[in-house]
Amino acid sequence: MSHKLTAVAVVCGAVAAGVVVGLLLVAPSGSDPAASNTGTPAPPPASSRPVPVDPDVAAVEVVGKAIAAAIVNHDATAFGKLTCVQQSSADLAELGRKWSAAGKVTATVPDPPVVSGDSATVTVHVEGVGGQKDTPFPLKKQGGKWCVP
């Protein structure tokens, strides 16, 4: 049993390391110059897209937005609540330190997630001092709840 827990911890650590590497590689987002007013309405922001009809797609999108919020807020504890296996305090503290070292970032879920049965992928777009990166997060449905394996 302890070998299985060790394997799960290693996989979770690899996912967290991928997130950290992505954050360390993100560039300054900078603000776009104000658009000229040509009378053409601007497209609606991504957050105003229609709510998905499929409850699993909607649930996965909520988890994706929670991942993005955890990254922006450097809140490893919030991220830990999204994992399928409880993370150790030490692992979460280390993730929090790495996120804090990355500085201010923005994170969004630009596209609807892809759901196939009890597996899904949601992509989180992160921008910060070192660049930008899209990171696909695999999710699985466990006990009726979507989580990061």
Is residue 118 scored above 50 in pLDDT? yes
Structural domains in the chain plus CATH codes: 2-28+51-147 (3.10.450.50)
The per-residue pLDDT for 30 is 43
Q: Are strands 114-116 and 145-147 parallel, antiparallel or unpaired?
A: unpaired
Residue 83 and residue 66 in contact, taking contact as beta carbons nearer than 8 Å: no
* DSSP one-letter string for 79-124: HHTTBSSPPPHHHHHHHHHHHHHT-S-EEE--S--EEETTEEEEEE
Distances (CA, A) of 48 to 44, 118, 147: 6, 27, 24
Kindly report the average pLDDT of the chain as a whole number.
78
pTM metric for this prediction = 0.67
Give the pLDDT confidence score for residue 39 in this predicted structure: 52
CA-to-CA dists, residue 90 to 5, 13, 42, 119, angstroms: 16, 11, 46, 28
